[in-house]
Structure 1
Amino acid sequence: MPDDRTYLVVYNHEEQYSIWDSGRDLPAGWTAEGTSGSREHCLSRISEVWTDLRPLSLRRRMDAGQTQTAG
């Protein structure tokens, strides 16, 4: 059965991405990125923009640790 729904690319405060059915309200903490379309189109967009799968908070901690050890 073909999936003819329209999806949105969404992200949260940790810069983690997902797709969301455009006919539903976004859950708390998620923001529409601006891309909409088929499931495949949205997943393709996510693979382009979400290249570092680590949550933002972890990336910041790791960057802070590198700065401290470099100084």
Structure 2
Amino acid sequence: MNGSPFDAGEGDWQVVVNAAGQYALWRPHLDVPKGWRVVHSGPDREGALDHVERQFASAVDE
């Protein structure tokens, strides 16, 4: 495989979160690191980023 699997490009994306509330974009073909869980899965990177932005926006509104 050439390059990083996290480079923007075609393919599905996930959003993972840990107990500290930290978010990360992740590729579904990679194992989710221990202590992290999937909170969103979708067909594009922009959708994953939108999910993270909505989570932060709702946290600010609280």
Q: TM-score, normalised by structure 1?
A: 0.62
**Residue 36 of structure 2: aligned partner:** 30
Query: Which runs of 4 or more aligned residues in structure 1 lie more than 2 Å from their structure 2 counterparts after TM superposition?
Result: 34-37
- CA-based RMSD: 1.7
Q: Which amino acid aligns with 1:42?
A: A
Shift of 1:34: 3.1
Select the structure that is richer in helix: 1
SS in 1 for 2:30: coil
Q: Which amino acid aligns with 2:42?
A: S
Q: TM-score, normalised by structure 2?
A: 0.69
**Identity fraction in percent:** 25
Unaligned runs of 5+ in 2: 1-7
The count of aligned residue pairs is 51
Contact map agreement 1:4 1:38 (CA 8 A) in 2: yes
Unaligned runs of 5+ in 1: 53-71
